[in-house]
């Protein structure tokens, strides 16, 4: 049997199975979860059935042309219900993890210290910079990257990054009313292209 024939036979077996199980699985899932989740879980179930087509009891491995009666639902449905049940459990666990994450993020935001520093002036000064200058400054100050690393991340040359960084720091210092841009965050030699 050629690979193409085997692929055709596998597809015919899956189509024959799908013809028998899609509607009962859809009804099964509708009785167990909300409408918004049914289609996703059914799709995942059918994907598992496709991957495990050789494991479906009662389906057999013989050639199915699609013109025959197909598999007996009593033979294949119980196993397919088990697959759907597992996919539904996975979807519910994923949903639960998402909800817990949202709750945790909400609580973390509520616990933010009331006396946290106001960085509005800094953000306004950053917003006044050109987009590329803002990105260079953020990569340098917030991510701790050296100019050669920033160059790699942005596609600029290290020299261009050093020049942009120097000018951006000078603009920020002027906007924030600082006299000495050298003391604005990192050591004075970090903005040079030798790194």
Q: What percent of the chain has pLDDT over 90?
A: 46
12-21, 127-136, 152-161, 183-192: which is most confident:
12-21
Helix axis angle for 147-154 and 131-141, nearest 10°, is: 130
End-to-end alpha-carbon separation of the chain, Å?
Answer: 62
Alpha helices in the chain (DSSP H): 3-30, 35-51, 73-110, 120-127, 131-141, 147-154, 158-176
Query: Are 14 and 49 within 8 A, CB to CB?
Result: yes
Least confident of 38-42, 43-47, 138-142: 138-142
Q: Distance from CA of residue 80 to its chain's centroid? A: 29
Query: Is residue 69 over pLDDT 50?
Result: yes
| CA distances, 9 to each of 62, 118, 180 (Å) | 8, 67, 75
pTM for the full model?
Answer: 0.53
d(CA 29, CA 111): 40
Mean pLDDT (whole number) for 6-21: 94
- Cβ(123)–Cβ(77) below 8 Å: no
Q: Does 126 have pLDDT greater than 90? A: no
- pLDDT 10s digits, 172-189: 888 888 644 445 555 545
Instruction: Say whether pLDDT at 94 is over 60.
Output: yes
Higher pLDDT, 77 or 62: 77
Cβ pair 17, 68 in contact under 8 A? no
Q: Regarding predicted confidence, which is higher, 121 or 192?
A: 121
- Write out the two tokens for 5: 């024939």
Round to whole Å and give the CA distance between 96 and 33.
14
């Amino acid at each position: 049997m050629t690979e193409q024939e085997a692929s055709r036979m596998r597809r015919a077996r899956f189509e024959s199975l799908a013809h028998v199980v899609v509607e009962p699985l859809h009804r099964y899932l509708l009785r167990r979860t909300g409408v918004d989740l049914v289609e996703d879980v059914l799709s995942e179930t059918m994907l598992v059935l496709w991957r495990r087509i050789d494991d479906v009891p009662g389906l057999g491995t013989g050639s199915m042309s699609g013109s025959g009666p197909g598999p007996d639902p009593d033979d294949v449905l119980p196993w397919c219900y088990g697959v759907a049940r597992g996919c539904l459990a996975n979807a519910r666990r994923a949903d639960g993890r998402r909800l817990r994450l949202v709750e945790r993020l909400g609580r973390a935001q509520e616990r933010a210290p009331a006396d946290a520093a106001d960085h509005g002036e800094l953000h306004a000064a950053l917003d006044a910079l050109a987009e590329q200058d803002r990105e260079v400054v953020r990569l340098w100050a917030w991510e701790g990257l050296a100019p050669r690393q920033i160059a790699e991340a942005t596609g600029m040359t290290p020299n261009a990054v050093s020049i942009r960084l120097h000018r951006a720091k000078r603009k920020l210092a002027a906007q924030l009313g600082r006299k000495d841009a050298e003391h604005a965050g990192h050591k004075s030699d970090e903005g040079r292209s030798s790194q």
